[in-house]
Amino acid sequence: MTKVDRRVLKSQEAIKKAILELMSEKNFDDITIRDIADRANVNRGTIYLHYMDKYDLLDKLIEEHIGNLRELCHSASEMTFQEGNYVWFEYFAENHLFFSTMLNTKSAAYFRSRFLDLVVQEYKVEVNVTEGKNKGLSEEVILQFFGAAVVGAVEWWFRNGMPIPPLVMAEQTGILLDRNF
């Protein structure tokens, strides 16, 4: 396993933070590599060393968080919805800048779509339309309904400054999911 230079990690973290801060201030289309470099206190060449352009930077940042959420789902596969949601809401709170930016800016539609896809994909194993309360219903309708509900609840939480602690959000959304799956 190769060891990554701490300076490289610091630069990458500064670049990621810079683009998120800038996105919370202005439209993504108006952000330049120069803006990102100035905010991150790095040279433009440093950005191009790691990313092809600002779109590649944003794509990699989104994929990093989607991947982390997917890993959290897999590690929480034996948990109740409440317990699993707590893991997610803690992650959301720890990565507040990313999620609040991605869910509260006009240029974040791609992330919202990827997030919804992830939620739908992860809940797919929970849906049973052959018996129980969801018997005879369309699996796709159920998944889209609950996926949109989860994404909407997370958006509301960030848009309102996380007014409820992560544990309470996890408990309440978990109870709602447990009632229906």
Nearest to 176 by CA among 126, 139, 140, 141: 126
Mean pLDDT of 26-55: 95
The whole-number pLDDT of residue 107 equals 66
CB 11 within 8 A of CB 42: yes
Tokens 């978990």 sit on residue: 174
pTM of the model: 0.84
What are the residue ranges spanned by the domains of the chain? Answer: 1-51, 58-180
The answer to whether the 1-51 and 58-180 domains have the same CATH topology is no
* CATH 1.10.357.10 describes domain 58-180: yes
From residue 92, give the alpha-carbon distance in Å to each of 68, 126, 142, 148.
11, 23, 24, 17
Q: What is the pLDDT of residues 96-130, one digit of tens each?
A: 999 999 988 776 788 999 999 999 999 998 888 88
* Fold entry, domain 1-51: Arc Repressor Mutant, subunit A (1.10.10)
